[in-house]
Structure 1
Amino acid sequence: MIRYRTLRRLLASLLLASSLMGAAPAAFAANAEQTEDVKKLLEQYHLSKPSDDSLNEGAIQGMVQSLGDPYTEYFSDDQWKQFQNYLEQTYVGVGIVSVRDEGRLYVQDVVPNGPAAKAGILPGDAIASVDGQDVRTATLDKLNGLISGKEGTTVRIVVVRGGKTHAFALTRHSVQLPAASSRLLRGGVGYLSLTAFRSDAADKFKAELDKLDAKGIRSLIVDLRDNGGGYVEQARLIAENFVSDGVLAHMTDRDGKDNPIELRGTTKPYPVYLLVNGNTASASELLSGALQDYGVAKLIGAPTYGKGVVQQIVEVPSGGVLKVTIEEYYTPSGHKVDHKGLMPDYPVEGEAMQLLAAIRQAGGKPAAMTAGKGSVVIDGIRTASASSFVVRNGVPFVDLKLAAAFAGGSVRYEAATKTIAVDVGGRTNRIPASDAGLYVRNGVSAVDVRLLAKWTPGLTWSTSDGLLRLNAA
């Protein structure tokens, strides 16, 4: 979000100058005439020669900042267009999501139908250079700075895949992230990812849900992790896929009046599980709170962000747009969300671990997992994950907790015997913490994949091109 110099900073400077002169600043209430007089004097005398426009902008931002509300903002017309693009998940670029793993930069994912996808760049490609600059050890910020640019311009990206170098000349275009996508998992579990509550979110969600329903799913996982919200109306329409009669939330205005958002929808015959994390916010919390309160869904993951207020967009007659907080919302049962968030029914840390837990809770059984190059892919669902496995002396070691979760087990440390117990397949396998079958790095334990296969009936594994693949029976 773009930040601007505010009147508060200007006032702080004036107060500092007064204190240096030995004068204690007196509290006062400025009227419109005084504000205009100060603006003219600053234009006339200040060393920086401030313009009328800059001081007017500073005054507006000062009024907004004085509210102490991070969600109330003033946008100029150009800034409003940028914010709308943010809401609609549209940006200018080539459609690459990058990640750093084991000291290298990789393509973690590509945006469908974006320039990179159309040219043939693939997830897992190691990024070697951008416009001739070596980026193998570059930061993500530097990489993104090199790749970004004006629409219609060209950027040359060189990647390494399978030991071979591939060069791509990509033209930067407007790219829109997919709002919703779905996948049928083993055991009749439907997985539906929703990335934002933009203006077409409900339609996109319903289209993917209908696809899954047509396949006869037995349970549903809705992934709302990192979904920062959007339009309240879209949350209402999505909730009506699961709640026949109720409210999405209770909206309390500045006078304390409750304005509930009513739901008149339908229900589903299967259980629903919502994946949430610390970036699940706003409209995502509206939806999650309602489905949790009505017993329609269980929340899996980490506590949500805690944005329990709603903004309205108001056009400023003289130009620009004001996004202003007008209501605070509470869940159907009256739970406060603002600055509190929602608590998951099943707390789980880590993206891949959360997904595995959701699949198990939904009655499914993960079939395949691929780890490495900045990602963990579980049954075709890709998540960012660094250092998920490492090769030592030619032997792959995989993150112990991740491996156990994939196998349907759990891990605990037994301090009395200084051993690690891995419960999997109905058996407890104990291994000394100093055993050669374990490798500890940065406080994270990894296990020799051969031990994991020995403990887990039907588990097979293979490695190739820097990836570790696990398959369950």
Structure 2
Amino acid sequence: MKPIKLMRRIAALLLASALLTGASASAFAESSAQADEVRKLLEQYHISKPSESSLDEAAIKGMVDSLNDPYTEYFTQEEWSLFSSGLEQKFVGVGIRMVQENGAVYVEDVIAGSPAEQAGLRAGDKIVSVNGKSALNMGMAELQGQLLGEEGTSVSIGITRSTGSHVFTMVRKSIQLPTATGIWMGDGIGYLKLEGFTSDAYDKFAAELGKLERKGIKGLVIDLRDNGGGYIDQAKEIAGLFIQNGVLAHLIDRDGKDQSLTVQGQSKNYTVRILVNGNSASASELFAGALQDYGIAKLIGTRTYGKGVVQQLIPLSSGGVLKVTIEEYYTPNGRKVNGTGLTPDMAVAGTAEQLIAAYRSAGGKKLALAVGNGAVTVNNVRMGQPLAAVQRKGTWYVGTKLAAALVGASLRYDAASKTVWWTSGGTVHKVNVSDSRLLNENGSTYIDVRLLAKWYPGLTFSSGGGTLKLGYAGA
């Protein structure tokens, strides 16, 4: 990594201002002179022969580290390039998302326009080799390392699917993850996944929202799960699609002054639900917290990450970028987010279970699920969820939590009778834990899909190609 050269005096001044605010002029000069003297002596005598530029970079890193703030960072030019690529959801590869189940790795999703899509890879493909080397014993990290590489280089991927084995050769290129993806779920419900608050997030989100609205949606599910944030101005613009007039967030600076972030936009006449989890952070929390405070949307999922501070990006004239925390934000109602996170209105665990809950809460009724190969598809929305269902001796078993979400039942375990109670619509079904129609594996409990269909006549199921398909129009 090429070091960034900075003037000694600038480094000394930054050190003094960061650590010695309020010091006298003489103390400031003494500190500056000492820093220069120590630097010169290290350059002259240390056995490693440190360069001026490497010591400059180390001094900057030391200043930043002394603040004990994980969000204030100094980036060299190379580090900044990597960070900004991540912020903009860009990487070099073939364009697939993967999921692991029972030691095997499957293609969870194929990015539109990617080398993988052009080559013919499909969601659900089982990856068995990379460049002729078996992938059956590779972990996810090792496999990802094999697929990523320099732009313009080739990689071959061997897969198996219902039609047999295939090998695809692709040329790696720069991939832009889709910032926003809109999907029609049926029953008047639209789904809109936002990967991050990138520099084009508003444009992409608004375009996808417009497509869904033209279909006449009565409810919208916004998916902010695993959205780590991004640019506040993009969060403000997107919030304007739902908030007619108000404070988006209270930004408190170092002097305790409230620099309120206001928004003027429009309101919607349909139900909004927002999916969140422990990786929903920063701008995601700012946006979701505001819509929750105004009663525009309900949050469904798990508690969010809790990053309630704002950073400013400052390019240095001598090279590199400083990302520095300048404010802490609170929701419109004054709720603290940093270190706390947002509490969902409806706490739900499980990726597919969360989407089902949001879909129903938004007004949807008819459900169609496909489960297998490490993923679950709910009304056209596909997501990674390993071992959501398993097949044993020709019989399919569905995870009890997913099955309960599908039929709209609540679960309760009665320790005295060692039975699991399924309650829905005033009807209670019971099954003993020793019943062969219940399966316990690796700490998870599954139910025979045939028993489920017997209890709930509206449930349909079929299977093929290692996938279980479920349909339900009740609840």
Q: TM-score, normalised by structure 1?
A: 0.92
CA distance in structure 2 between the partners assigned to 1:83 and 1:132 by the alignment: 32
1:84 maps to what in 2?
A: 84
Q: 1:307-326 residue pairs with structure 2 within 5 A?
A: 307-326=307-326
What is aligned with 1:105? 105
AA paired with 1:159?
A: I
User: What does residue 44 of structure 1 align with?
Assistant: 44
Residues in 1 aligned to 2:356 and 2:133: alpha-carbon distance in whole angstroms: 39
Aligned to 1:25: none
Cα deviation for residue 52 of structure 1 reads 2.1
| Matched ranges for 1:24-423 at <5 A | 31-162=31-162, 164-423=164-423
Amino acid at match of 1:79: E
Q: What CA distance in whole angstroms lies between the structure 2 residues aligned with 1:38 and 1:464?
A: 71
Name the aligned partner's letter for residue 302 of structure 2: A
Contact 2:185 2:381 survives alignment (8 Å): no
Counterpart amino acid of 2:236? R
Is the 1:462–1:470 contact (alpha carbons within 8 Å) kept by the matching residues of 2? yes
What letter is aligned with 1:272? V
How much has 1:427 moved relative to structure 2?
2.1
Instruction: State the alpha-carbon separation in 1 of the partners of residues 371 and 57 from structure 2.
Output: 50
Q: Which whole-Å CA distance do the structure 2 matches of 1:85 and 1:47 have between them? A: 37
1:358 match: secondary structure = helix
Secondary structure of residue in 2 paired with 1:203 = helix
Q: Is this contact kept in 2: 1:425–1:457, CA < 8 A?
A: no
3-state SS in 2 of match to 1:193: strand
Contact 2:184 2:380 in 1 (8 A): no
Q: Name whichever of 214-223 and 43-52 sits farther off.
A: 43-52
Deviations 1:362-413 (A, max 9, x none): 1112421111111011111111111111122221111011012112222211
Structure 1 contact 195–224 (Cα < 8 Å) conserved: yes
Q: Distance in 1 between matches of 2:215 and 2:162?
A: 36
Match for 2:394: what amino acid? G
* CA deviation string 1:95-128 (max 9, x = no partner): 0111110121111111111110111100110001
The C-alpha deviation readout for 1:126-153, integer Å capped at 9, x for no partner, is 0011011101121001101111110000
The answer as to whether partners of 2:376 and 2:384 remain within 8 angstroms in 1 is: yes
Give 2:331's aligned amino acid. Answer: T
Change (3 A) 1:186 1:408: farther
* Cα deviation, residue 43, structure 1: 2.4
Partner in structure 1 of residue 16 of structure 2? none
CA contact (8 A) 2:374 2:386 kept: yes
Provide the C-alpha distance between the structure 1 equivalents of 2:48 and 2:271, rounded to a whole number of angstroms. 63
Indicate conservation of the 8 Å contact 2:108/2:124, yes or no.
yes
1:31 is displaced (CA, Å) by 1.0
Q: What code does the residue aligned with 1:244 have?
A: Q
**1:58–1:366: structure 2 CA closer, same or farther, 3 Å change rule?**
farther
How many residues are paired up? 447
Q: Give the superposition deviation at 1:426.
A: 4.7
Q: SS at the partner of 1:91?
A: strand
- CA shift digits 1:160-217 (9 cap, x unpaired): 1115111111000000000111122232111111111001101111111111111111
How far off is 1:78 after superposition? 2.3
Return the letter of the residue paired with 2:291.
L
1:319-372, CA deviations, whole angstroms, 9 ceiling, x for partnerless residues? 111111111111111111110111000011111111111111111124211111
Deviation at 1:41, TM superposition (A): 2.0
1:83 maps to amino acid: F
Alignment of 1:7-22 (within 5 A): none
How far apart in 1 are the matches of 2:164 and 2:184? 34
Map Cα deviations across residues 261-309 of structure 1 (whole Å, 9 max, x no partner): 1111110011211100000001001101110111111000001111111
1-side partners of 2:387 and 2:163: how far apart? 21
**Structure 1 runs, 4 residues or longer, greater than 3 Å off:** none
Distance 2:423 2:457 in 1: 13
Report if the CA contact (8 A) 1:404-1:424 is conserved.
no
- Percent identity at matched positions? 53
Q: Which amino acid aligns with 2:359?
A: I
The SS at the match of 2:220 is: strand
Residue 306 of structure 2 contacts residue 337 of structure 2 at CA under 8 Å; is this kept in 1? Answer: yes
- Residue by residue, what CA displacement relative to the aligned partner does 1:68-119 show, whole Å, maximum 9, x if unpaired? 1111111122222222211111111000111110121111111111110111
Which residue identity does 2:34 align to in structure 1?
Answer: Q
State the alpha-carbon separation in 1 of the partners of residues 310 and 206 from structure 2. Answer: 24
Give yes or no for contact 1:366–1:378 (8 Å, CA) kept in 2.
no
1:6-31 deviations in Å (ceiling 9; x for gaps): xxxxxxxxxxxxxxxxxxxxxx9971
AA aligned to 2:145 is G
Amino acid at match of 2:283: A
- Residue in structure 1 matched with residue 439 of structure 2 by the alignment: 439
Confirm or deny: 8 A CA contact 2:374 2:384 kept in the other structure: yes
Please tell me the residue identity of whatever aligns with 1:373: N
For structure 1, the 5+ residue unaligned runs are 1-27
Residue 339 of structure 1: SS of its match in structure 2? coil
The DSSP-based 3-state class of the residue aligned with 2:434 is: coil
Structure 2 length normalisation: TM-score? 0.92
Question: Does the Cα contact within 8 Å between 1:366 and 1:406 map onto a contact in 2?
Answer: no
Question: Over aligned residues, Cα RMSD in angstroms?
Answer: 1.5
Question: 1:99 aligns to what SS in structure 2?
Answer: strand
For 1:49 and 1:110, the matched residues in 2 are separated by: 49
